[in-house]
């Protein structure tokens, strides 16, 4: 797989992780629970992807 395709995939994944984090931190209904450990894992994944882009 060419390098540019990999970069595109990783950038899309970074965008998806950001969207997930926004949804995870949005106000919750009484049935939903706030999951800070999942947010932390997503942020750490975002950092690792950003490192690949030298951001």
Chain segment 3-55, per-residue pLDDT in tens: 888 888 888 888 888 888 888 777 667 676 777 888 888 888 888 888 887 76
Claim: this prediction has a pTM higher than 0.75: no
Q: Cα dist. 29→25, 26, 32, 52 in Å? A: 12, 10, 5, 36
Domain range for 8 = 3-25+33-52
Dist CA 3 CA 19 (whole Å): 25
The SS3 call for residue 50 is: helix
Our count of domains for the chain comes to 1
């Amino acid at each position: 797989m060419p390098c540019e395709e990999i970069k595109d995939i990783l950038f899309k994944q970074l965008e998806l992780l950001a969207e997930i984090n926004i949804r995870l931190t949005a106000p919750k209904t009484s049935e939903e629970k706030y999951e800070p450990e999942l947010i932390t894992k997503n942020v750490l994944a975002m950092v690792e992807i950003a490192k690949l882009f030298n951001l």
